[in-house]
Amino acid sequence: MAEVDTRKTNAVLDGLISRNSTPPRLFDGDEPVRADIEQMLAAAMSAPDHGLVRPWRFHIIEGDARHKLGELFADALLGREPFAPTAAIEKEKARPLRAPTIIAVCAKVDPSRAPKVPVVEQIVATAAAMEHIVIAAQSMGYGAIVLTGRNAHDPVVRKAFGLDGQDELLGFVYIGCIKEPTPPKERPNAAEFTSVWV
């Protein structure tokens, strides 16, 4: 039997078990290093991917592009609520400004790969890739959180990211520098959700 490097194994487990969503209000305003963002995306490439479809698409949003995304969110709101109050419109415009870096994670699915690789499996693969980004960000000392809301499913926003049909915008990963890690949360006992099937 091959010898297991428990130090490496424990580091991976610690990262998984201690994973935490960091609210954008805890970001200190500094931008993540671009090389680190590239490492996070490299980590996403190792997500399980049945049939090697590579359905994931990542859109990095930084700097002035965040203002453009805010305008898009405001347009989406007005499409849903033509008489939305000014305060609500301004709130949508400000959403992307809460983090210096945002990665929009989309699943560009290929229905022709079904039934061998169903669309749902392609979406699951993209979700796994998104989680790899979050875990990688935390492992490098950054704060990260996945945010969705109505904007992730709005037709105006979907169109802006080139999505149609069964494609999905799984979420916006907000990433920022933090002064200290988010306090750990109390987690449920896995036994409560586990059974032995016979």
Torsions phi, psi for 107 (to 5 deg): -105, 110
pLDDT of 183 reads 81
Side chain identity, residue 54: R
% residues pLDDT > 70 (the chain): 95
Residue 5: pLDDT above 70?
no
What is the chain's mean pLDDT, rounded? Answer: 94
Whole-angstrom Cα distance, residue 184 to residue 18? 6
Side chain identity, residue 33: V
- 18-45 residue pLDDT tens: 889 999 999 998 999 999 999 999 999 9
Residue 6: pLDDT above 70?
no
Choose which CATH entry (3.40.109.10, 3.40.50.880, 1.10.1040.10, 2.60.120.260) describes domain 26-61+98-181. 3.40.109.10
State the pLDDT confidence band at 54, using cuts at 50, 70 and 90: very high
Whole-angstrom Cα distance, residue 129 to residue 17? 17
pLDDT of 169 reads 98
Question: For 101, how many CA atoms within 13 A lie in the half-sphere containing its CB?
Answer: 24
Dihedral (C-alpha) 38, 40, 46, 52: value to the nearest 10 degrees?
-60
Whole-angstrom Cα distance, residue 95 to residue 152? 13
Residues 104/59, Cβ–Cβ less than 8 Å? yes
Q: What is the DSSP letter of 99?
A: S
pLDDT of 7 reads 62
Torsions phi, psi for 90 (to 5 deg): -65, -35
The pTM for the full model equals 0.91
Whole-angstrom Cα distance, residue 36 to residue 92? 28
- 173-189 residue pLDDT tens: 999 999 888 888 888 99
State the pLDDT confidence band at 10, using cuts at 50, 70 and 90: confident
pLDDT of 13 reads 86
Torsions phi, psi for 183 (to 5 deg): -55, 140
